[in-house]
Chain A
C-alpha cells in the first residue's frame, strides 16, 4: 500500500544531542516537504525538495538540515537539539506542487 512513513513517532532527547527524523514514501513522488507544527497552531514549511539532490529552505527559518539522496527518503537532521526545537514535525509528499499532498503521522519532538 502506498504511504508515507515517519519515525520515530515520539522522541524525548537531551539538549545538545544530534537527531535525525526519518521520512519515507512509497508513492514515487518527486516533491517532498517538512512542516513544523506547534500544538493547536498552523503548519509552517521549513524544508522543500523538488527531487533527488534538490532541497531548499521554506518560509520558516529552521536550524535543521535535510538531504534527498533517494526519491523515497527525505530525512531531517538537527545537529544540536535545543528546547526551542520542541515541536511536531510533519513530512509530506506530492506529485506536483498543486496536487494533493500526503502527510505522515508526524514526529513529536521534546528536547529537555
Chain B
C-alpha cells in the first residue's frame, strides 16, 4: 500500500522561528500536494497546496517547496506564532487518485 512519510513527528520552536516539516511520497500519476492544519477538536482545514508545475508556492507566512525528482515536498512557516500551534498533515495522491495523508506533525510554538 502506498505511503506518505512525514517528519518530524513533533516540533517545538520559539516564536519567530521557522519550523520545517518534510514529506516524501511514492510514485503517483496525479499532481496535487496539499497541507492541512488541524486544531484540537476540529477537522483538518486546507492550509496551502501545490501543483508541481512550480517548485515553490507561498501564501502569507506559509511556503511549500517541491522537489519532483526526489518525490519530496516541505512546509515552511515563516515568523511562526503561538497561534500556529497545531497538527500539520501533508497529503499526496495515490495511483488511484485518492489522497493519502502523512502521519502528522504536532507543532508547538512557544511565546
Contact = CB atoms under 8 A, between A and B. Distances in A.
Interface residues of A, number: 22
Given A41-B103, A42-B104, A98-B93, A58 B98 contact: yes
B43 interface: yes
A41 B104 contact: yes
B33 to A, nearest CB: 10
A6 B42 CA distance: 11
B12 interface: no
Contacts of B44: 43, 90, 103
A33 B52 CA distance: 25
Interface residues of B, number: 28
Contact of A45 (B41, B46, B99): B99
Contacts of A45: 98-100
Nearest to A91: B43
A79 interface: no
B97 to A, nearest CB: 6
A105 B39 CA distance: 10
Contact of A40 (B46, B97, B104): B104
Interface of B: 1, 4, 6, 30-32, 34, 36, 41-46, 49, 87, 89, 93-94, 97-104, 106
Interface of A: 6, 35, 40-45, 48, 58-59, 90, 92, 97-98, 100-106
- 9 tightest CB-CB pairs across the interface, nearest first? A103-B43, A98-B32, A43-B101, A42-B101, A100-B46, A42-B103, A103-B44, A105-B43, A104-B43
